[in-house]
Amino acid sequence: MTRAYSMDVQKTLKHSCRFRGVGLHSGLHATLVLEPAGEHHGIRFVRGDLAGATPVPATIDHVADTRLFTSIACGAWRVDTVEHLLAAFCGCGIDNVEVVVHGPEVPILDGSAWPFVEAFDAVGVAELGAKRRYYRLRTSLSVRRGDSYVTATPSRGSTWACTIQFDHPLIGTRHREVGLESFRDTVARARTFGVVDDVKAMRKRGLARGGSLENALVMGEGGWLNPWMVRYEDEPVRHKLLDMMGDTMLLGARLEARIEAFRPGHALTRSLIRELAAGG
Ligand SMILES: [Zn+2]
């Protein structure tokens, strides 16, 4: 089902909504509260469990240097794994929300952005009076790291295109594209995934502690370890698009561009956003 919201004016949630669950990397339980906010507020994060924590905008200036996920940080506090929530704000056209996290990490829930989308539908989306701010490109911009690249090209509307290339034959090389109108049907339900050896390596580094076969697809030698959780035959490339959409929100304005990526990761997409924020 697709909802037609006017994309020209700023939006917020009609009511607050609340989630509770485990963090993918920390393994710690946290409560997440999304509060409606007025025009030009933007998406702001704050730790609700730390006295005196000041809210900060979810923009590239407030991102911690984490490689496998995206974190918002301010001084002594940090909130990890914000990308799927940001992707839900991006895809559902929500501009202004106060995000209060009582814990160090946004709950991973079912590994996708879908629980957020369902909650937004349940509480409703309110249009505000102010026009939305768009960031429009004049020229293309590209960032590279090794074989990987992400390019933003001037375009009417916003589209994301991604090619992944995994050594694992059952993931392999895949390409897919998504626009705002196809967010719900194409990528919102695509879950977090990993290859079993990478997951083991992450665990050794103290990551993926909250990861389980209930919230992430795990690829073993012969196939998915939890095939009952698979929603799409090419779910990994769809999830990468979800991550890209989330990281794009760190610009602090809607990016109207075609964003094309080859073997992207969070750090690479954020490099592009950092360059755009600095004036391209
Ligand atoms: Zn992700």
| Residue 137 near residue 82 (C-beta atoms within 8 A) | no
At 115-132, the pLDDT tens digits run 999 999 999 999 999 999
For the question of residue 266 being annotated catalytic, the response is yes
Using the mean position of ligand 1's atoms as its centre, give its distance from the Cα of residue 113 in Å.
9
pTM assigned to the model: 0.96
81 Rama class: left (phi>0) / alpha (psi -120 to 50) / beta: left
Helices of type H across 10-54: none
212 C-alpha to ligand 1 centroid (Å): 14
Q: 130 alpha carbon to ligand 1 midpoint, in Å?
A: 31
CA distance 50 to 74: 12
- The neighbourhood of ligand 1, an ion, using CB within 5 A, equals 192, 243
Which one of 25, 41, 239, 266 is the catalytic residue? 266
**Does position 109 have pLDDT exceeding 50, yes or no?**
yes
Please say if the pLDDT value at position 95 is more than 90.
Answer: yes
Please write the tens of the pLDDT for every residue from 167-221: 898 899 999 999 999 999 999 999 999 999 999 999 999 999 999 999 999 999 9
Cα of 216 from ligand 1 centre, angstroms: 10
Q: How far apart are CA 174 and CA 164, in angstroms?
A: 5
Q: For residue 167, report the distance from its CA to the centre of ligand 1, in Å.
A: 19
206 contacts 26 by C-beta, under 8 angstroms: no
- Cα separation, 55 vs 47, in Å, equals 8
Domains of the chain: 9-131 (3.30.230.20), 134-277 (3.30.1700.10)
How far, in Å, is the centroid of ligand 1 from the Cα of 85?
10
Q: What is the mean pLDDT of residues 62-87?
A: 94
